[in-house]
Structure 1
Amino acid sequence: MSLVIESRPSELQYIERVWRSSSEDVGRMMSVATSHWELVFWEQSGRMQAAVLGPEPRASQAPVPGDAVFFGISFALGTSMPHIPVSRLVGGNAEIPDVTRRSLWLKGSAWHVPDYDNAEAFVLRMVREGIVDLDPVVPAVLDGACPDVSERTLQRRFVAATGLTQGAIRQIHRARQAAVLVQEGVPAQEVVHRLGYFDQPHLARSLSRYVGRTATQLGARDTTQPLSLLYKT
């Protein structure tokens, strides 16, 4: 049983990460909560499929197509597709029809199917043709800026661009950081101190909700059910 995942960051402001994976005798995985939406392609038994996956507000078990190859583009926070509001995709997905190994249709135009090495060129075309947009306020606020807008306006823009509130994004991000630290062998009490949890029970609840694993399971590298992509930010 294995789910091999490889990923890389991107210098393009619209992309958080590009990844690819393959499955072998894996029926289900634990899908870790994520605040990013993704464009995912997978091939199984010679058939190519694609879908837009929305943000995941909590961890959940997800089926994995057997003996399949996957490729995905995880989009940066604040990036959205205006014709498919991300708020409608939270915890769900939208299938892209009529995909072949070579082409797909997006908003009435034919596109070459992207791959791990040319994801940036594909996304830049999406930007040029108005399929993808970026609200610069979202990454600015997450980096600590204080824009001159009301709190209500700010929350509305966050939800419109990400499907989630600021608070939900920060909690998901912190839990994913905690999971990576625990997997690296950092003691739970140290993780609590570094990331600002109240205490170890608070950390435990966060990991259970957003990662679907206890600190003990993460530290032991429990492989009974593989995890979706976790990485250092």
Structure 2
Amino acid sequence: MYKERASRLPGAAVWTSTPSVPGDEGPGRVLPDGCMDLLWHDGRLLVAGPDTRAHAAGAASLWAGVRFHPGTAPALLGVPAHELRDRRVDLADLWPAAEVRRATARVHAADHPARGLEEVALALAASAAPPDPLLARLVTALDAGRPVAATADELGLGARQLHRRSLTAFGYGPKTLARVLRMRRALALARAGVPFAEAAARAGYADQPHLSREVRSLTGLALRQLVPPDTVS
């Protein structure tokens, strides 16, 4: 069973995933969302990099995580996003051993790993520079369906500069980020009961087949596999 709540860290979410019934295989596939996560599993701390495709979740046991708002994790974790693209990496491979031990101890001292991870994330944010407001504006514009070129102009960035900053912050270029965010918008509409064709149009796709191709490309699954049957019109 997957549960999520808003974190005390602005823009972040705290989540847990556990098997809900005997034989449950856990959270299934994690879809691209433009985010990075700090994870706890089986006593270990890991970092989930930004995905360009669906990721098969781990074993059927407790997982906990803090999902950072797109573009914010690299400054907190001290690693460019593109170095972790489509990867799950032990925090011990990224940080000095002493820092990993302190973070792990903080998680284990909490009454639940998810709350411990949130405390680690809050401590990281308290010692880091404030989030880059330009990155926040970029995410907001692309999530609203603004074209990449027009957004770059509005932000006063050239194409190469925007691409370079996007690689560091998001793990991929702005066009890929725009694709991921558009797919998430369409899926949210479809899961809310909006017919597929209307969801495609409202999210900015040419038509329903275009949406279906993008979902298949980014997740490896058919659109209908990602929308509960009782919501499909």
| 8 Å Cα contact 1:59-1:209 kept in structure 2 | no
What is the one-letter code of the residue matched to 1:137? L
- TM superposition shift of 1:173: 1.4
Letter aligned with residue 37 of structure 1:
M
1:20 and 2:16 correspond:
yes
**Which of 173, 178, 199 is equivalent to 1:170?**
178
C-alpha distance 28-138 of structure 1, shift in aligned 2 (>3 A)? closer
Q: Distance in 2 between matches of 1:125 and 1:56?
A: 25
Query: Residues 198 and 83 of structure 1: is their aligned pair in 2 closer, same or farther, counting only changes over 3 Å?
Result: same
Contact persistence 1:78–1:136 (CA under 8 A): no
- AA in 1 matched with 2:140: D
Identical-pair percentage: 26
**Residues 184-213 of structure 1: CA deviation (Å, up to 9, x unaligned):** 322111112211101111011111122333
Whose helix proportion is higher, 1 or 2?
2
Q: Does 1:64 align with 2:61?
A: no
Mapped partners of 1:121, 1:28: distance in 2 = 24
Q: What SS does the corresponding residue of 2:63 show, helix, strand or coil?
A: strand
Distance (whole Å) between structure 2 residues aligned to residue 54 and residue 106 of structure 1: 22
For residues 117-147 of structure 1, the C-alpha deviation after alignment (integer angstroms, 9 at most, x for no partner) is 46554223113344x8733211112223732
CA separation in 1, counterparts of 2:161 and 2:7? Answer: 30
Q: Which residue of 1 aligns with 2:89?
A: 94
Q: Distance in 2 between matches of 1:9 and 1:36?
A: 15
Q: Say yes or no: does 1:155 pair with 2:163.
A: yes
CA contact (8 A) 1:175 1:211 kept: no
Q: When the two structures are superposed, what TM-score results if normalisation uses the length of structure 2?
A: 0.75
Which of structure 1's runs of 4+ aligned residues deviate more than 6 A? none
Q: Which has the higher strand share?
A: 1
- Whether the aligned pair in 2 keeps the contact of 1:182 and 1:215 (CA below 8 Å) is no
Given that 1:34 and 1:56 are in contact with CA atoms closer than 8 Å, whether structure 2 keeps it comes out as yes
CA deviation after TM superposition for structure 1 residue 42, in Å = 1.8
Q: Does residue 1:110 correspond to 2:110, yes or no? A: no
For 2:203, which of 195, 198, 216 is the aligned residue? 195
SS in 2 for 1:172: helix
CA distance in 2, matches of 1:106, 1:135: 28
Tell me how far 1:116 sits from its aligned partner.
3.2
Once residues 134 and 73 of structure 1 are traced to their aligned partners in structure 2, the CA distance between those partners, rounded to angstroms, is: 17
Displacement of 1:49 in angstroms is 1.9
- Give the TM-score normalised by the residue count of structure 1: 0.75
C-alpha change, 1:108 and 1:181, in structure 2 (3 Å) is closer
Query: SS where residue 34 of structure 1 aligns?
Result: coil
Indicate the SS of the match to 2:53.
Answer: coil
* 2:25 is the counterpart of 1:31: no
Give the letter aligned to residue 135 of structure 2.
V
Residue aligning to 2:67:
74
Secondary structure of 1:107's match? Answer: helix
**More deviation, 209-218/50-59:** 209-218
Q: 1:90 and 1:50 mapped to 2: Cα distance? A: 17
| Partner residue in 2 for 1:231 | none
For the Cα contact (< 8 Å) 1:135–1:161, is it kept in 2? no
Matched length? 206
- Residues 127, 217 of structure 1: CA spacing in aligned structure 2 closer, same or farther, 3 A cutoff? closer
Query: Structure 1 residues 39 and 193 mapped into 2: Cα distance closer, same or farther (>3 Å)?
Result: same
Establish whether residue 10 from structure 1 lines up as the match of residue 7 from structure 2.
yes
Q: d(CA) in 2 for partners of 1:105 and 1:194?
A: 48
